[in-house]
Chains A and B, each alone.
Chain A
Amino acid sequence: MSGIRFENVSKRFGGVTAVDDLSLEIGSGEFVSILGPSGCGKTTLLRMLAGLERPTGGTISIGDRVVNELAPAQRNIAMVFQTYALYPHMTVAGNIEYPLRKRRVAKDERVRRVREAAAVLELEALLDRKPRELSGGQQQRVALGRALVRDPAVFLLDEPLSNLDAKLRTHMRAELIRLHRRIGRTMVYVTHDQLEAMTMSQRIAVLRDGRLQQFAPPRDIYARPGNDFVAGFIGTPSMNFLDGRLKGTGSGRTFRSGDLSLPLGMLPLTDEMPEPDRRVRLGIRPEHIHFDRQGEPARVNLVEPTGHETILVFDYRGNELVARMDGDIAIEAGDTVKLAFRAEKMRLFAAADGRRLNDDSTA
């Protein structure tokens, strides 16, 4: 009903291409995050959807209407800004009521709906305050209230939690998820914080330099990253990458990097190797590295205990390798140990374009 479709949407600012030929389809009622590093075009994408920015090319539809030519007010969307953008001279009630007043909703109806929204967001006690008399979290809730009160088809949120402190952020994350469950509206959530995207969304669209990298549920983004950028961007500490070549065929396939040789017989590939001796990147997540008597020797460079786990940095045949181990591990910098990777968790990427080469079936 009120899904969203981007078809080959581009946006250029002079010489800068902020969004590049992007196609994306968001289901009605879905909670989708747009995730990517700063400057990758997330805000631009959202602003085009809101009607605050005009696409250079492509079409944007909300429901079954193409909205390219529609003014923001006609798109049946509400937006929560990173800076909240509350009207400073109006009270909390005035702020929440404003979109209704501009749409000529009758007074009684306005009062009722403001009260309703305030109840959902626990703002009843603050209705007569001015925005400057509120804490960041409260202002955030007022901004949400102003969006909520109109009951729009689509909610757009641009890094709404980034101005809050860590604890409040966690709290508001849960609140937003609850809100989404309750009202069941389509929500597009822009963030550069992978934790927010992973915990809140039904699907995540990962962006890089204005191009869509992958659009998938959080688990898939983590376990089956479409390319080495997504693989490296999601997860802390990041996935480790080893650059090398693929040798042999079938079950005799190995990964070679210098004098390192890892058997890859059990990793089925997505496509047959066109060229022999193909250059690849091997990716392995920190939690998929373990000690093994038969493994490769590695020197411990750094030990970072965090309590429930220990982050170890190894020198692994000239490569830096980060591993996540038990919290109570007894190990010191300078030690030499033997390491092995969980074979079925290794990911292979083409060195040329970063595309993932091994098949999903083993994930």
Chain B
Amino acid sequence: MPTIRAASASLRLRSLDARYGLLGALLIAPTVLVFCTVIVYPLVSAIYLGLFSIYTPTMEGEWVGLDNYRRLLASGEFWRSLANNLIWTAGTLTLQIVFGILVALMLHRNLVFRALARSLVLFPYFLSTVVAVLVWRWLFNDLYGVLNHLLLWAGIVDLPVDWLGSMPNAMISLIFVGAWKYFPFVVIAVLARLQAIPDELYEAASIDGAGAWARFTDVTLPQLRDVLIVVVLLRTIWDFKEFDLIYLLTGGGPIIGTQTLPLMVYKEAFALNQMGGASATAVLMMLIMLLFMSLYLSRARD
């Protein structure tokens, strides 16, 4: 008898479990649905489209298997774009981090201007990319630009400098504008962390004999480590797939001097009307990012 009762009890339990399981599935269903439509569907269709040769206006094409990938990996343009992408990302990210930490340290020390400066510093970040780029294009303009005007006036250069139309000037300008636009993100994240570092740590360090630089390297930097790991992760992803700023400032030029992978995807899809090749490029780009990120995260963890 007891065994039967126990068995029926466990049966009841199991059906209760099952009903809870069903409820759980129901509750996460909307999330799963949204996730599928905005992430899984585009991803799968990009992978799928990459296996065809497609004429963009009609979206018609034929199965070519891995031909798109073979063509890409054999083309100089893909590798050049990838190299540009890495140079741009590494350059602008480094500047963002260095500027960001410096400005955050300055704002952290100066209590009077902190509130005001904190909102001012965010300005480039809030500014729409189109507006920002238009302003910068005027500053960089070789005939009417303020930059050349000042340099000529100060006697630093004899001829106007072509900031956006020649290499490596265009890449340098691009990296600089990117840093200008996105360093506020680093400032805000670092400043928030700086304010959470207890004063006693600095006081203990100064009693222990640490000078200003040692206090920075032994107290500040280790405390910033975690926030910097996240900032670098996010900014790398965002900078790597940056499109509008580059497209608007240089359009990838001169020729393909500043063309990064996102610009190449755009060109393939809408200028060359090769949706298949564009999709394959996008898939490769994603794989490269995945590789970098997994390497980075496994390093950052220890």
Chain A residues with a Cβ under 8 A of chain B: 50-52, 71-73, 77-79, 81, 83, 85, 87-89, 98-99, 102-103, 146, 150
- Whether, in the assembled complex, B60 has its beta carbon less than 8 Å from a beta carbon of chain A, the answer is no
Q: Majority SS of interface residues in chain B?
A: helix
Docked pose: A79 CA to B203 CA in angstroms = 9
B203 touches A81 (CB 8 A): yes
**Distance in Å from the Cβ of A280 to the closest Cβ of chain B?**
46
B209 touches A85 (CB 8 A): no
Contacts A87-B218, A87-B219, A89-B225 given; indicate if A99 touches B208 (C-beta within 8 A).
yes
Scoring B201, B204, B214 by chain A CB atoms within 10 A of each residue's CB, the highest score goes to B204
Q: A81 to chain B: which residues have CB within 8 Å?
A: 200, 203-204
Docked pose: A98 CA to B204 CA in angstroms = 10
- Whether, in the assembled complex, B168 has its beta carbon less than 8 Å from a beta carbon of chain A, the answer is no
Using CB atoms, name the residue of chain B closest to A83.
B200
Q: A51 to chain B: which residues have CB within 8 Å?
A: 207
Within 8 Å by CB of A72, from B203, B214, B218, B219, lies B203
**Distance in Å from the Cβ of A67 to the closest Cβ of chain B?**
13
Using CB atoms, name the residue of chain B closest to A53.
B203
Interface residues on B, range: 10 to 19
Q: A150 to chain B: which residues have CB within 8 Å?
A: 208
Q: What's the A-B contact tally at a CB cutoff of 8 Å?
A: 56
- Whether, in the assembled complex, B210 has its beta carbon less than 8 Å from a beta carbon of chain A, the answer is yes
Q: 0/1 per residue, B202-231, Cβ < 8 Å to A? A: 011111111000100011001101000000
**Distance in Å from the Cβ of B14 to the closest Cβ of chain A?**
42
**Distance in Å from the Cβ of A157 to the closest Cβ of chain B?**
13
B206 touches A85 (CB 8 A): no
Contacts A50-B207, A77-B207, A99-B208 given; indicate if A85 touches B225 (C-beta within 8 A).
no
Chain B residues with a Cβ under 8 A of chain A: 198, 200-201, 203-210, 214, 218-219, 222-223, 225
Q: B218 to chain A: which residues have CB within 8 Å?
A: 87, 98
Docked pose: A81 CA to B202 CA in angstroms = 12
B222 touches A72 (CB 8 A): no
Docked pose: A71 CA to B209 CA in angstroms = 9
Contacts A83-B198, A85-B201 given; indicate if A73 touches B222 (C-beta within 8 A).
no
Q: B200 to chain A: which residues have CB within 8 Å?
A: 81, 83, 85
A85 touches B214 (CB 8 A): no
Q: A52 to chain B: which residues have CB within 8 Å?
A: 203, 206-207
**Distance in Å from the Cβ of B206 to the closest Cβ of chain A?**
5
Docked pose: A78 CA to B203 CA in angstroms = 11
Docked pose: A79 CA to B219 CA in angstroms = 17
Contacts A85-B201, A87-B201, A87-B219 given; indicate if A102 touches B225 (C-beta within 8 A).
no
A87 touches B222 (CB 8 A): yes
B207 touches A89 (CB 8 A): no
Using CB atoms, name the residue of chain A closest to B201.
A85
Docked pose: A362 CA to B126 CA in angstroms = 79
Q: B222 to chain A: which residues have CB within 8 Å?
A: 87-89
Scoring B207, B214, B218, B225 by chain A CB atoms within 10 A of each residue's CB, the highest score goes to B207
Using CB atoms, name the residue of chain A closest to B208.
A99
Q: B203 to chain A: which residues have CB within 8 Å?
A: 50, 52, 72, 79, 81, 85
Q: Told that A72-B203, A87-B204, A102-B208 touch, could you supply 10 new A-B pairs with CB distance under 8 A?
A: A50-B203, A51-B207, A52-B207, A71-B206, A72-B206, A87-B205, A87-B222, A98-B205, A102-B209, A102-B214
